[in-house]
Amino acid sequence: MNDSKARTVEQAVEFLRSKSSRVPDAAVILGSGVNVLENLPGEIQLSYNDVFGISPSVAGHSGSLSLGEVDGKLVAVLRGRFHLYEGHFWDVVTLPTRVLVEWGVPKLFVTNAAGGLNQAFQVGDLMLITSYRDHLQPKWREVGLLPALTKEASVCENELTAKLSQASDKLLATTGGAFRAIKKGLYAGLLGPTYETLAEIDMLKLLKADAVGMSTVPELMTADGTKTQACALSVITNVWTPDVELEGHEEVLRAAKEASQRLDQLLRTAITA
């Protein structure tokens, strides 16, 4: 894809600094149909076009960066992302994360919509990513900017993932069972854009993947080794059973919306912990 209009990291950071004198305490990147942290106190909204020079093209991704407060913490909420399957190169897919790192944001929560492979999962479950497999076709990476170090353990096991586990326990104890405990598991990142064939699903299960999606691995790899600590959560929008019939993107958007309330509670609790 011709991404010649994309801003550089420096240009994007300069623009953000001109809009906010404070560096956010945390940032959240939202996946398809995931709507959380809406209408925050003191919120200002910026368009991806103004910040990054380009906008996402996939339904369910609005392409706005809002800055607002959660209990006094300044949070940047990025609604939408650039995917390899849209034809973007690695440097564009990782641009928002590189901008957050350069801006000095210390905590990054990455979310996505994913298909559940673990048969114990239910639609609407939230899965904390404890490890990932990168099936995003590394050839794409050679064209763009190379990622920083990729030490998987450090991105998937850190203070933030511990905070999310504790937040889940706390919500479970304080909401009288209304909150569903988060699941944990291995995320397989595939290029897409088509959903998987049943044969591919069988393969991914053999590889012990618990969920499958088309994003997030680039963000985690990019944040790794930087001062920005990152973690990721999948919203399980469908579960792959042997007789499953997946309606497609609409079904994914619907399920993501339903789970958003629990995700909202979880993120607020973890951000302010």
Which listed residue (26, 238, 255, 260) is catalytic? 238
Distance between CA atoms of 158 and 270, rounded to whole angstroms?
Answer: 13
Site for ligand HPA (CB under 6 A): which residue of 114, 127, 156, 266? 114
Chain-centroid distance, C-alpha 23:
20
135 classed as catalytic: no
Q: Are 103 and 13 in contact (CB under 8 A)?
A: yes
32 classed as catalytic: yes
Which listed residue (215, 223, 256, 259) is catalytic? 215
What x-and-dash track marks residues 134-163 binding ligand HPA by CB under 6 A? ------------------------------
Which residues between 230 and 249 bind ligand HPA (CB under 6 A)? 237-238
**Residues 19/21/25/28 CA torsion (nearest 10 deg):** 0
Q: 113 vs 220, which CB is nearer to ligand HPA?
A: 113
Distance between CA atoms of 66 and 48, rounded to whole angstroms?
Answer: 10
Q: What angle do CA 61, 57, 59 make, to 5 degrees?
A: 45
Q: Does 127 bind ligand HPA (CB under 6 A)?
A: no
Neighbouring-strand partners of residue 69: 74
Q: 140 vs 195, which CB is nearer to ligand HPA?
A: 195
What x-and-dash track marks residues 200-219 binding ligand HPA by CB under 6 A? ------------xxx-----
Instruction: Report the b/e string of 92-107 with b at 16+ CB within 10 A.
Output: bbbbbbbbbbbbebeb
Which listed residue (26, 27, 61, 132) is catalytic? 61
Q: Does 111 bind ligand HPA (CB under 6 A)?
A: no
61 classed as catalytic: yes
Q: Does 252 bind ligand HPA (CB under 6 A)?
A: yes
Q: What Å distances lie between residue 157 and 31, 161, 208, 220, 232, CA to CA?
A: 21, 6, 18, 12, 10
Q: Does 118 bind ligand HPA (CB under 6 A)?
A: no
**Residue nearest ligand HPA (C-beta atom):** 115
Distance between CA atoms of 253 and 247, rounded to whole angstroms?
Answer: 11
Q: Which residues bind ligand HPA (CB under 6 A)?
A: 113-115, 195-196, 212-214, 237-238, 252
Which positions are catalytic?
32, 61, 83, 85-86, 113, 214-215, 238, 249
